[in-house]
Structure 1
Amino acid sequence: MPRKERIEYPGAIYHVISRGNYRKNLFTAQTTGAAFERAIFEAVERCGWKLHAYVIMSNHYHLAVETPDPNLVDGMRWLQSTFATRFNRLRNERGHVFQGRYKSILINEDRPLIGLINYIHLNPVRAKLCTVDELKDYALSSYPKYWKRKRPEGLDRATLLSLCDLPDTLAGMRKYETHLKLQDEADPRKREALAKQYCRGWFLGSPKAKKDLAKDLAKSAPLVNWEGVDLKELNEVRWEQIVQNELKRLKKKEDAITQDPKGADWKVSIAKRLRKETTAKNPWIAGKIKGVKRKI
């Protein structure tokens, strides 16, 4: 059976989200929040990441992180396991700290990245912990660090300001602050739409970019079963490619799928390959090669 993996490639940008186990409050104490913030920057330094934005809330966190080397999995494993050890030692506890595995959403283009950084920075505002004017006082976030002349190593302010056509200066930050005020939205329906846009699925970018990446991944990693329900469409691209390759090998045209009997031997052979090499379920296989479910 194909192995399950995260999508990694040089220069990939991700929105990473993780919550406390059972949604418990991990970061309500200043000591635990500050400890996790230190761990983030240690991971950034160890892995050579470019950190575009982050925010640490009471029971979850968000990162916008770029990986010049394809090492998100290794870096996140180190970050979460290291913090879990430190947290349990600090609180004299045992067991899991985070709720399952973290979520990572690929960010493919400039405009979605700007929107994501805004979304991350405005988390405390949407949670009614502060106003935009007070965001500089919300310590566990990249936003107040953006205002400092000497920023933590690896925190990249320049990219965002450049994407906003602003200079990498305090004057640029003042204009960015105005930009955030314009983005702030009190309507709860709008907040839900933002969460759906930036926190769900596996990819944030144009439909064409999404389709192109799916094709590239199917070619470069033909034996990978991409992890998670959100990545079903990625797997389906590869399954479809297997069907097309088999049709070519068997010298069958597309119309044979509908014209030949459901139990045709060639259909059964394709179905067996799909069952052996992929996680495709019988309904998908039967729908794709028109009814061989009973003979798989």
Structure 2
Amino acid sequence: MARLPRLMLAGQAHHVIQRGNNHQPIVLDDADRQHYLNQLHECAATQKVAIHAYVLMDNHLHLLATPEVDQGISQMMQALGRRYVVWFNHKYGRSGTLWEGRFRAALIDSERYLMACMRYIELNPVRAGMCASSEAYPWSSCAHHLGRRSDPLINDHALFWSLGNTPFERELAYRELLDQGLPEPERLQFHDSAMKGRPIGSAEFLKSLADKTLLPLVLRPRGRPRKTQSEAELNQPDPI
């Protein structure tokens, strides 16, 4: 199947994935991790992209982010990729690419899917067996959302603030959401949508995007469309 055109819109949340080439590590120690996040912070501020959630794993990164301009996330990721690769290659005496092609991204229907996407991102280290609880992993935004620390990289989404009127209420409500986990079908849905560039949302959300952008948002199989029954009947030879 053909890949959908990349669709990125200002003011809309996006799930972003960047992976190491051939699943190779993109960070080798805590200094690498801190440098990567520092660079992400600078590039996000420069390109006016709000980061709502993140997790930096050994060989990939997940972000939940909203740009102020359509190309904000692309410009942020391109700048981040170039700057970090130069630094990483110099530190380790290597050359060549670090990334598995271009980053992947998908629009998220905020009202229905944003909080679930946050859980998907911040539960990654637990699913990978790297820690017993998501807030124990130091290279994600989870501890911030649970009130364990203040993360300068994070610009909380309005839907996170709507979880409660006080920090304590929001943290307690989000703790309960994390404890619910994420069903496997939803986890696969978030992964596949980002990897294939497919927006994720309700039928109404997808229709509004299609109307706004005039882009096809549903992949169609290659080749000629299959004939309907009436068309097939019309093409039958006349009886002798």
TM category (shorter chain) comes to 0.7 to 0.9
The whole-number CA distance in structure 2 between the counterparts of 1:8 and 1:158 is: 18
Secondary structure in structure 2 of the residue aligned to 1:204: coil
Residue of structure 2 in register with 1:199 after alignment: 191
1:103 Cα deviation from its structure 2 partner = 0.8
Report if aligned partners of 1:105, 1:200 keep a CA contact under 8 Å in 2: no
The whole-number CA distance in structure 2 between the counterparts of 1:47 and 1:148 is: 28
Residue of structure 2 in register with 1:130 after alignment: 131
Structure 1 position 140 matched with structure 2 position 139: yes
The whole-number CA distance in structure 2 between the counterparts of 1:97 and 1:215 is: 37
The whole-number CA distance in structure 2 between the counterparts of 1:20 and 1:157 is: 27
The whole-number CA distance in structure 2 between the counterparts of 1:24 and 1:84 is: 13
Residue of structure 1 in register with 2:213 after alignment: 217
- Which has the larger Rg? 1
Secondary structure in structure 1 of the residue aligned to 2:224: helix
Residue of structure 2 in register with 1:182 after alignment: 180
The whole-number CA distance in structure 2 between the counterparts of 1:21 and 1:167 is: 43
The whole-number CA distance in structure 2 between the counterparts of 1:46 and 1:168 is: 30
Structure 1 segments, 4+ long, off by >2 Å, are: 145-151, 156-163, 280-284
1:44 Cα deviation from its structure 2 partner = 1.4
Instruction: Give the structure with the larger helix fraction.
Output: 1
Give the TM-score taking structure 1 as reference length: 0.67
The whole-number CA distance in structure 2 between the counterparts of 1:215 and 1:150 is: 39
The whole-number CA distance in structure 2 between the counterparts of 1:11 and 1:17 is: 19
Residue of structure 2 in register with 1:79 after alignment: 80
Give the TM-score taking structure 2 as reference length: 0.81
- Extract unaligned runs of 5+ from structure 2: 233-240
Say what the alpha-carbon RMSD is for the aligned residues: 2.6
Pairing 1:230-245 to 2, within 5 Å after superposition:
233=219
Letter in 2 for 1:216: K
CA deviations over 1:252-272 (Å, ceiling 9, x no partner): xxxxxxxxxxxxxxxxxxxxx
Residue of structure 1 in register with 2:155 after alignment: 156
Report if aligned partners of 1:20, 1:26 keep a CA contact under 8 Å in 2: yes
- Extract unaligned runs of 5+ from structure 1: 237-279, 292-296
Aligned length: 221
The whole-number CA distance in structure 1 between the counterparts of 2:160 and 2:110 is: 15
Structure 1 position 24 matched with structure 2 position 16: no
Letter in 2 for 1:167: N
1:196 Cα deviation from its structure 2 partner = 1.8
Residue of structure 2 in register with 1:276 after alignment: none
